[in-house]
Structure 1
Amino acid sequence: MTNSNNGITVLVTGGSGFIAVHCIIKLLEQGYKVRTTLRTLNRQHEVREMLRKGGISSFEELSFIEADLSKDKNWDKAVQGCTYVLHVASPTPVVNYKHEDEMIIPAKEGVLRILKAARAARVKRIVLTSAYGAIGMGNRNRTTPYTEKDWSNLNGNLHPYQKSKTIAEKAAWEFIKSEGGGLELSTVNPVAVMGPVLGTDYSHSNQVVKKMLEGEIKACPKVYCCYVDVRDVADLHLLAMIHPEANGERFLATTGNALSMLDIAQILKKNLGETAAKAPAKELPNWFVRAAAIFNPSLRMLATLLGQYAETSGEKARQLLHWSPRSGEEAIMATAETMLQLGLIKK
């Protein structure tokens, strides 16, 4: 552990989340003081357990504060004395939504709430966890890899969750431009996040591996996606936090190699043998998935991704910040192996 960062406090929002826990691990390992928000302090023990599994043994430099993105209470206290903020917390996708505003309004208002509190407290820089969903959705006839210059098409065929990520990030950049008062901003836009699972709180991307190993997915939709390891996403947050060149920049967190869902199943079978016997071996026609999504709300987001071009470039983070991510296969296998170790896969 280095001591050069002693005395520098970093706020991490949504400390129980999959990416947030890994960010906290990296920060504590590098000697930072970490304050993290939870919607309820009842989850402190759960977060400490995940951190222990991630290799943290001392919690002297970690503190918790109760704060909810949908309310003003405690955000002024949460950012007080912080040099940096990693705003990782985000509303998760709502499956049975009645209106898209159920996702859009909380995402946008939550981001602005943090930015205003950070500006008032004279925080140096915020790193906002945005998403690939704010870059590569709703666009037709794409043939070249998506980069940080791209934005999702709000008028295209995209799920309200992806729309919420796009609107929230745009609102953040507009705030910095018009009323930031010197507050710095960087964003990290991860593709589908895999990697070591430390508890029962993990990203919705990880659920694909779980469902495949349990035999819940009998055949794969023709959906392509790039993958990235959560440890590398955490590394990129820290690089974006401290590098002068990162101010005012977006960074795609991606290995750059798009995989189909069938590719994931084949990776599991290759590496796990009989343990992955229930993983699917065939693909579903697009018309079948679209028809099923009419009756099954959990398939609606998936249906918007069918057949979509999904190649991305991670060159900006590699070149500007010297970021070096693991392969998508390594990230996927880390998810599978840790889920098996924790007993999260039903036999």
Structure 2
Amino acid sequence: MQQQTVLVTGGTGFVATHVIVQLLQQGYRVNTTVRSLSSQSQLFETLKSAGMQASQDNVQLIEADLLNDTNWLTAMQGCDYVLHVASPLPMGDPKNEDDVIKPAVEGTLRVLTFAKKAGVKRVVMTSNFGAVGYSNTDTSQVITEQSWTNPKQKGLSVYNKSKVLAERAAWDYIHSDGQGLELSVINPMGIFGPLINQRLSAGHSLLRQLMSGEMQRLPDINMGIVDVRDVADLHIRAMLSPQAAGERFLALAGGTMSLIDIAHYLKKAMPQHSANISTKALPTWLLKIVALFNPKARAIKPLVGVYRQASNQKARTLLGWQPRSNEQAMLAAAQSLVHYKLI
């Protein structure tokens, strides 16, 4: 039987790299899009550190940009599946929100359009919880995949707005021009678990601030958490399962942890690395004042007070997904920060 090839977009990203590792473990060949072919040696090194022998025989890099048609058809040639993981992640608030929204929406539509042209069977798209649960006002109800965030909601970050608009555009395309192409969407909560190189994800950056003592007071943030290895596994399950076509799946371990919960847990689990961790609360009224002149506080403010009790039942039942616990994901993340000397 001929080895199948899967296209993974944004191959040097945190989630995408873990996806590539698991695809290689399962015997697939991987095409992956990158902004520059100069990142090949770095990607191969990262895959090697995760125990995978990567070479041009099993991993092919293709230079492609979400805002440009060049090379997308080439990247998808001979692929049954596309895992669209790439998404622009702004550092701080951009001056113009279109700098983030345009590549997210146009890039998604570009990937779907070329996937259909190339005869791809199914696209699995990485969205996020920001596209699902940020407009939920009924805290007596557990959030499910039926919920949608209102993109016009006051206080919604540009990043979350871009994710909801990109996901909406994807479903609209499938229901109109995309007949014959299947779509599944993964909506992860806060992604932790192990780093496999020194590049910090957004979640690990927050955790580093906590563990280094830079965050002396902890804001009222409750997080739904998921291990990156389980996010990668869920992408592959959604790629292969007949039941996943036309469905979206919330990816979370179950329940939530507050920053104070995480601080207490790490102090107990990693006493030798937690001397600087604060367990003091930061009142929300004070955070709002600090956010007026502090960019880091401003970035955290939209996370405060968001209701995050959501269900992972659909992924468990339909796809047999069994995620690690919140504590396992957080411990693996903290241990990898220590391993890479990032704290």
- TM-score range normalised by the length of the shorter chain: over 0.9
Tell me how far 1:41 sits from its aligned partner: 1.0
TM-score (norm 2): 0.96
**1:32 alignment counterpart:** 28
In 2: Cα distance, 1:228 partner to 1:315 partner:
14
**2:291 alignment counterpart:** 293
SS state at 1:295 partner = coil
**2:194 alignment counterpart:** 196
**2:167 alignment counterpart:** 169
Is the Cα contact below 8 Å between 2:44 and 2:54 reproduced in 1? no
Instruction: Identify which of 142, 145, 154 aligns with 1:145.
Output: 142
Tell me how far 1:106 sits from its aligned partner: 1.5
**1:338 alignment counterpart:** 336
Tell me how far 1:71 sits from its aligned partner: 1.6
Is the Cα contact below 8 Å between 1:94 and 1:103 reproduced in 2? no
In 1: Cα distance, 2:13 partner to 2:54 partner:
20
Instruction: Identify which of 274, 277, 293 aligns with 1:276.
Output: 274
Is the Cα contact below 8 Å between 2:227 and 2:323 reproduced in 1? yes
Instruction: Give the letter aligned to residue 139 of structure 1.
Output: N
Deviates more, 1:135-144 or 1:161-170: 135-144
Is the Cα contact below 8 Å between 1:37 and 1:65 reproduced in 2? yes
Residues 70-110 of structure 1: CA deviation (Å, up to 9, x unaligned): 22211111111111000000000341422322221111011
**1:256 alignment counterpart:** 254
Distance of aligned partners of 1:296 and 1:102 in 2 relative to their CA distance in 1, 3 Å threshold: farther
SS state at 2:12 partner = coil
1:91 maps to 2:88: yes
Instruction: Identify which of 39, 53, 58 aligns with 1:43.
Output: 39
Is the Cα contact below 8 Å between 2:47 and 2:54 reproduced in 1? no
Distance of aligned partners of 1:58 and 1:48 in 2 relative to their CA distance in 1, 3 Å threshold: closer
In 1: Cα distance, 2:135 partner to 2:303 partner:
9
Is the Cα contact below 8 Å between 2:134 and 2:307 reproduced in 1? no
In 1: Cα distance, 2:97 partner to 2:9 partner:
24
In 1: Cα distance, 2:137 partner to 2:208 partner:
31
In 2: Cα distance, 1:276 partner to 1:110 partner:
41
Instruction: Identify which of 87, 94, 110 aligns with 1:113.
Output: 110
In 2: Cα distance, 1:35 partner to 1:277 partner:
44
Is the Cα contact below 8 Å between 2:135 and 2:148 reproduced in 1? no
SS state at 1:329 partner = helix
SS state at 1:83 partner = strand
Is the Cα contact below 8 Å between 1:225 and 1:311 reproduced in 2? no
SS state at 2:79 partner = coil
Instruction: Give the letter aligned to residue 325 of structure 1.
Output: P
1:213 maps to 2:211: yes
Is the Cα contact below 8 Å between 1:138 and 1:155 reproduced in 2? no
Tell me how far 1:145 sits from its aligned partner: 1.7
Is the Cα contact below 8 Å between 1:139 and 1:153 reproduced in 2? no
User: Map of 1:119-158 to 2, 5 A cutoff?
Assistant: 119-157=116-154, 158=156
Tell me how far 1:58 sits from its aligned partner: 4.3
- How many equivalent pairs are there? 341
In 1: Cα distance, 2:174 partner to 2:201 partner:
28
Distance of aligned partners of 1:193 and 1:310 in 2 relative to their CA distance in 1, 3 Å threshold: same
SS state at 2:224 partner = strand
Tell me how far 1:154 sits from its aligned partner: 2.1
Q: Note the residue ranges of structure 1 that are not aligned, 5 or more in a row.
A: none
In 1: Cα distance, 2:136 partner to 2:158 partner:
15
In 2: Cα distance, 1:167 partner to 1:96 partner:
17
Tell me how far 1:139 sits from its aligned partner: 3.2
User: Share of identical aligned residues, percent?
Assistant: 46
User: Map of 1:316-335 to 2, 5 A cutoff?
Assistant: 316-335=314-333
In 2: Cα distance, 1:30 partner to 1:291 partner:
50
SS state at 1:154 partner = coil
**1:7 alignment counterpart:** 3
Residues 168-216 of structure 1: CA deviation (Å, up to 9, x unaligned): 0000000000000301000001000001101123420111221122111
Is the Cα contact below 8 Å between 1:39 and 1:68 reproduced in 2? yes
Tell me how far 1:262 sits from its aligned partner: 1.1
Is the Cα contact below 8 Å between 2:24 and 2:30 reproduced in 1? yes
Q: RMSD of aligned C-alpha atoms?
A: 1.3
Tell me how far 1:141 sits from its aligned partner: 4.2
Deviates more, 1:274-283 or 1:91-100: 91-100
